[in-house]
Structure 1
Amino acid sequence: MKGPRVIFLIFFVIFAGILCQGLYNIHPFGEPRVSAMDDYFINNAQSERAANNVVTSIVFDYRGFDTLGEAAVLFTAVMSVAALFRKEE
């Protein structure tokens, strides 16, 4: 019975270490990270995508396929719930 407890303890210590490392590396709340990609989107969104809203240009143009995938997953989830709760006649 000692073997499984030791293995569990080792995995628990490793997992706790990973969580503590992640919490240590988190940036402070309210201080946004600024990157070159942010500056690129802000400076080029209107000229490249003809959109006045930067968020709209990112969601629908730069990340269009990702947004399409998210919509497909949402549609599948809604249809699954509707099929699950339909009434049998």
Structure 2
Amino acid sequence: MRKILTVVLLAVIGIMLVVTVLEMPAIGDPNNPTNNEVPQRYLEQGIEETGAVNMIASIITDYRAFDTIGEATVLFVAIAAAIANLKAH
């Protein structure tokens, strides 16, 4: 029963991944919103919304802060795991 449940769960996850990929816009599509709307908003309203003079800093610290924290967390965990493995031997 446990093997069947595992296979069903993996099949559902696989189907969800395939459906998600099929719904994504084509790579390089000029009508893709990330190619048009997002950068345009950052440039047009960035100074007003963030109050930062440096646009790169405002994008990284205000608009993309959640991703940046996530990336830093992944790096920290990877380094901690590597150090733990090296000290274990």
TM-score by length of 2: 0.53
How many pairs align? 82
For structure 1, the residue ranges without an aligned partner over 5 or more in a row are none
Taking the aligned partners of 2:33 and 2:22, their CA distance within structure 1 comes to 19
* Identity in percent: 24
Spell out structure 1 runs of 4+ moving beyond 4 A.
14-20
CA–CA separation in structure 1 for the residues paired with 2:63 and 2:28: 26
Structure number, greater radius of gyration: 1
Residue 24 in 1 paired to residue 57 in 2?
A: no
- Which residue does 2:33 correspond to in 1? 34
TM-score norm. by structure 1 comes to 0.53
Deviations along 1:30-85, one digit per CA (max 9) or x if unpaired, are 114226861321212244321143xx422222233542343133112202211211
Give the RMSD, CA atoms, in angstroms: 3.9
